[in-house]
């Protein structure tokens, strides 16, 4: 994850929430949003349980990550 992937609250285009208990480790989210999400040592999304402010530059990756999750564990909300 790069520093530019996360926006300050004032400069956020939206937020990305990853539900801890819903992630099943399919890996589709971090495959389509490599600048936002990474996997942990077990293959689950490392940012599970977090809400991340998303910059305008990475809003498309955030949307793609939410759309790619078959478990609906990722919620992207536009500010």
Separation of alpha carbons 75 and 22, rounded Å: 11
Separation of alpha carbons 14 and 41, rounded Å: 28
pLDDT at residue 70 in the model = 97
Torsion 27-28-31-36 (CA) sign: negative
- Class at the top of the CATH hierarchy for domain 3-78: alpha beta
pLDDT at residue 42 in the model = 94
> Considering the entire predicted model, what is its pTM?
0.84
pLDDT band at 12 (very low <50, low <70, confident <90, very high): confident
pLDDT at residue 3 in the model = 45
């Amino acid at each position: 994850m790069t520093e530019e992937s996360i926006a300050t609250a004032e400069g956020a285009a939206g937020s990305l929430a990853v539900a801890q208990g819903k992630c099943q480790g399919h890996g589709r989210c971090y495959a389509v949003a490599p600048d936002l999400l990474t996997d942990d040592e077990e293959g689950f999304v490392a940012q599970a349980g977090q809400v991340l402010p998303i910059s305008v530059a990475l809003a498309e990756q955030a949307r793609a990550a939410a759309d790619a999750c078959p478990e609906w564990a990722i919620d992207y909300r536009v500010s």
